[in-house]
Chains A and B, each alone.
Chain A
Amino acid sequence: AQSVTQPDIHITVSEGASLELRCNYSYGATPYLFWYVQSPGQGLQLLLKYFSGDTLVQGIKGFEAEFKRSQSSFNLRKPSVHWSDAAEYFCAVAGGSYIPTFGRGTSLIVHP
């Protein structure tokens, strides 16, 4: 079985500050890992994904994520947050032939 946990329901940061959103997964082998972003009333957009290889993954909009096998984590980071980054962020895990399982999401609030 596979599962994913996003420990933070809400995160508040100031514009220009750095950001880290946490994601922990459970799966017996190396999984496929994804981060998606969702603006209010919209569909999900893929930010980045990890399948294999380099554990530091670069994505769109200046985001990156690091796969840490020892910690079963895939945290999303951005060095400087913009007001337009305010949205809901979802981590997802997929192992083998499984359909991705999504976390419950983290809502990012950006203060000016």
Chain B
Amino acid sequence: DGGITQSPKYLFRKEGQNVTLSCEQNLNHDAMYWYRQDPGQGLRLIYYSQIVNDFQKGDIAEGYSVSREKKESFPLTVTSAQKNPTAFYLCATGGAVGGNTQYFGPGTRLTVL
């Protein structure tokens, strides 16, 4: 929140379609993260990036892809290979990975019909 923009707020897609979620930041943070949130599951890490043109898989990367072409942007693509994509997706930013505080965007709720 505050300097982190996620769009759209709500997204509806048909099963089998790829969809890209946007995350933009103006906090000049090096690290960016994508989390998935399901009821009662807490936050699960999908991908993270510490610098431009580099990113690493998190705990649940299967069926997702990312890019980091600019420091300010870290889009997440939910592919048709993701078996259960309906969820709330949160983008976060922070200083270099290593215990630094994370700052969260407002989230995107994806519903696959």
Contact = CB atoms under 8 A, between A and B. Distances in A.
Contacts of A100: 99, 102
22 contacts: A9-B40, A31-B99, A32-B99, A34-B102, A41-B109, A43-B1, A43-B4, A43-B105, A44-B104, A45-B104, A46-B101, A46-B102, A49-B101, A90-B42, A94-B98, A96-B98, A96-B99, A98-B98, A99-B58, A100-B99, A104-B40, A104-B42
B17 interface: no
Contacts of A36: 104
Contacts, number: 61
Interface string A68-101: 0000000000000000000000100011111110
Interface of A: 9, 31-32, 34, 36, 41-46, 49, 51, 90, 94-100, 102-105
Contacts of B6: 43
B75 interface: no
Nearest to A4: B42
A97 B107 contact: no
A97 B43 CA distance: 19
B41 interface: yes
B14 to A, nearest CB: 23
A32 B99 CA distance: 6
Contacts of A102: 42-43
Contacts of A104: 40-42
B103 A46 contact: yes
B85 to A, nearest CB: 18
Nearest to A97: B98
B42 to A, nearest CB: 4
B49 to A, nearest CB: 11
B98 A45 contact: no
A107 to B, nearest CB: 9
B41 A98 contact: no
